[in-house]
Amino acid sequence: MQKNLRISKPTLASAVIGNRRMLASMTSNGQIHRLWWPRLDVYQQVEEWNFAISIEGYTNLLWLHDETEWDFTQSYLEDSPVVLTNAIHKVLPLGWELKDFVLIDRDVLVRRWRIKNLSGQTVSLKLWQYSDFAINDRVRYNTTKYLKYIDGLLHYQADTVIALFSNRRATAFQCGADAKEHVKACSLNCKNQDISSCGALMWDLGDVGAYGYVDVDIYLVAGNSIDGILETAKALKSEDISLIENDIYEHWKKIYENGCLRVNDEKINTLCKRSVMVFHLLSHADLGGILAAPEVDEDFLYCGGYGFCWGRDAVYVANAMDVAGYHHIARKFYSWAASAQCSDGSWAQRYYLDGSVAPNWGLQIDETGSILWGIWEHYEVTHNLEFLHEMWPSIKKGADFLISYRDSDTGLPSDCYDIWEERIGQHTYSAANVYAGLISAAKAAKEMGFHEDAERWNKIAQDIKRAIEKLCWEPGANHFIRSLKMDNGMLIKDFTIDASLLGLVYPFGVFEARDERMVSTVKLIEARLWSPKIGGIKRYENDAYRGGNPWILTTLWLAYYYALIDEDDKAKKLFDWAVEHATSMGLFPEQIHRNTGQPAWVVPLTWSHAMFVMVLKKLMDKGIVK
């Protein structure tokens, strides 16, 4: 009986690979845990894709991703999304290396295995593959079929087809019927079709001489018809995959040549390239939306999911791409945002990449303010008046919405979710964001000659600033409060120190960085949010999410503030902390574990990479990083 519920256990990625329609995340042992197609956010196709080898005369089957059997190392090759995983067996004289990449122009994932005999004796090897592909995230109504024409498996449902085959002739196969157990028994029954999501293949690799190796290329091809898959398979079997691999390296070299952030420090240069790579891989080239991260928790076991486009995160990314010189990605995002805007002028909390509203908790007004702010920032970098005219209908609707969504008693934006999407109230960060959104909209209006709109939006922005000064600054505590809320006619203030209060200065510019009120607030941010054992800045006091860890983006946020007030040593120290806590693959997670110093949650987070790029540019401008 087939399962009726699919639960994907959260697994932290070590690397991502992909193209504009296909995205895969893998772990440090070389296993691909998730594969999204035909969009970067839908659908997740892989339940399990595992490989094993058997050695003649040795009874145990060796699963190649088993961390109890193998020691692994992993790296990106030539700063491209080509991942090399190496493994050495802990006991046996055996090793392997694996290159994983997705073709630039076709929805094809390639796995290039090289299995090494590290002994002085000839060994006879077989390679086994087990695949369980719940097509389009559905566990029911899947079919698996062995197709002789490609000498491989088809996993399909309706108009989605995924094929798995090799450059070598398969020796045995099986569709359905407890395929994994048959792999474990090293005995496939050659059943050629089943109403099932799983199947298996075996390739007899023959004898491998002393200190020799054997190569096997495995192809995954995704498409919308079996005929289309067959055409792609035929072409692949006639092509030199090494040349295609080299094309990927050249493609990414050209991408980096277009960037403008280059420094003398090799590690920082690598991290900058990784950031650019992440932005490209998680931006939908055709549609324009930008993912916050590859999804890690589809069933919302620990969070609300990450594989969506937030206006907030995406604007930071777009701004970072403008800073790095990739203006076309930023513009594509804002065009996407204009098409996704709600009829009332707001933007929803988060979206799918096709612009449809994703599951969400409710209104988060900083999404709207962020996009208006970002539109003007993009214009200030590009001076593209055509872009500004294209955005004008969205700017006007968005600004008018922000004006309409104000509390008549406080003068602040009305109750909504905060930046961290955990509490409802009138938040200082949200008010700063709305202020900046209206100021940016007013600048755009003035630039295009709409002076009445400009004056009206400017006036309301200044009213909001005065409300922040009156209600969000607490003289007795000597810091800005996080938020306030009306409760039965009583004004309840939240005095929690929160890193998002930095938004009053950067990026939203409500106050000058040296304003005494900000200086005293920032002192408390550093004193109360600093993680005592491993360093870094938490989001806020008593943060409980994932145990309460320091975040890369909040630490870099503080670094940017210190750069603004010429506290350059502090800025560089915080920047260096973030650099030191990138993963071995050069990716930035969301959080760093408060005790171990290891990535504690999602990898990579685009917002973390965006803050890295923006702080780097600031430090470069000041000559702190050269």
Three-class secondary structure assignment of 265-289: CHHHHHHHHHHHHHHHHCECCCCCC
Q: Which residues of 432-451 are buried (b: 16+ CB within 10 A; e: fewer)?
A: bbbbbbbbbbbbbbebbebe
In this prediction, residue 365 carries a pLDDT of 98
Contact residues for 314 (Cβ-Cβ < 8 A; gap 6+): 289, 290, 292, 333, 337, 606
Asked if 40 and 23 touch (Cβ cutoff 8 Å), the reply is: yes
Cα–Cα distance, 619 to 564 (Å, whole number): 10
Per-residue pLDDT tens for 216-257?
999 999 999 999 999 999 999 999 999 999 999 999 999 999
For the chain, domain boundaries: 15-240, 361-518
Per-residue pLDDT tens for 45-93?
999 999 999 999 998 999 999 999 999 999 999 999 999 999 999 999 9
* Res 40 pLDDT > 90: yes
Asked if 521 and 515 touch (Cβ cutoff 8 Å), the reply is: no
* Res 268 pLDDT > 80: yes
* Res 161 pLDDT > 90: yes
Per-residue pLDDT tens for 344-402?
999 999 999 999 999 999 999 999 999 999 999 999 999 999 999 999 999 999 999 99
* Res 6 pLDDT > 70: no
Pairing mode of beta strands 172-175, 193-194: unpaired
Q: What is the mean pLDDT of residues 440-455?
A: 98
In this prediction, residue 487 carries a pLDDT of 87
Residue whose C-alpha is closest to residue 201's, from 191, 213, 215, 212: 191
Cα–Cα distance, 111 to 102 (Å, whole number): 9
Task: Annotate 404-447 with three-state secondary structure.
Answer: HCECCCCCCECCEECCCCCCEEEEHHHHHHHHHHHHHHHHHHHH
Q: 361-518: which CATH topology?
A: Glycosyltransferase (1.50.10)
Provide the token pair at 329.
């990605």
% of the chain beyond a pLDDT of 70: 99
DSSP codes, 538-557:
-SBTT--GGGT--BHHHHHH
% of the chain beyond a pLDDT of 90: 95
Q: What is the mean pLDDT of residues 466-471?
A: 98
In this prediction, residue 109 carries a pLDDT of 98
Asked if 216 and 115 touch (Cβ cutoff 8 Å), the reply is: yes
Residue with tokens 């920047």: 575
In this prediction, residue 8 carries a pLDDT of 61
pTM for this one?
Answer: 0.96
Out of 2.70.98.10, 3.40.50.720, 3.30.1280.10, 1.20.58.1610, which CATH number does the structure's domain 15-240 have?
Answer: 2.70.98.10
In this prediction, residue 194 carries a pLDDT of 97
* Res 2 pLDDT > 50: no
Q: What does residue 88 show for φ and ψ, rounded to 5 degrees? A: -125, 130
Cα–Cα distance, 54 to 60 (Å, whole number): 7
Per-chain mean pLDDT for the chain: 96
Enumerate the β-bridge partners of residue 413: 406
Per-residue pLDDT tens for 480-535?
999 999 888 889 999 999 999 999 999 999 999 999 999 999 999 999 999 999 99
Q: What does residue 112 show for φ and ψ, rounded to 5 degrees? A: -105, 100
In this prediction, residue 5 carries a pLDDT of 46
Q: What is the mean pLDDT of residues 144-169?
A: 97
Provide the token pair at 35.
């594969």
Provide the token pair at 507.
């990026």
Per-residue pLDDT tens for 169-215?
999 999 998 999 999 999 999 999 999 999 999 999 999 999 999 99
* Res 14 pLDDT > 80: yes
Cα–Cα distance, 414 to 436 (Å, whole number): 16
Q: What is the mean pLDDT of residues 158-168?
A: 97
Asked if 20 and 329 touch (Cβ cutoff 8 Å), the reply is: no
* Res 405 pLDDT > 70: yes
In this prediction, residue 260 carries a pLDDT of 76
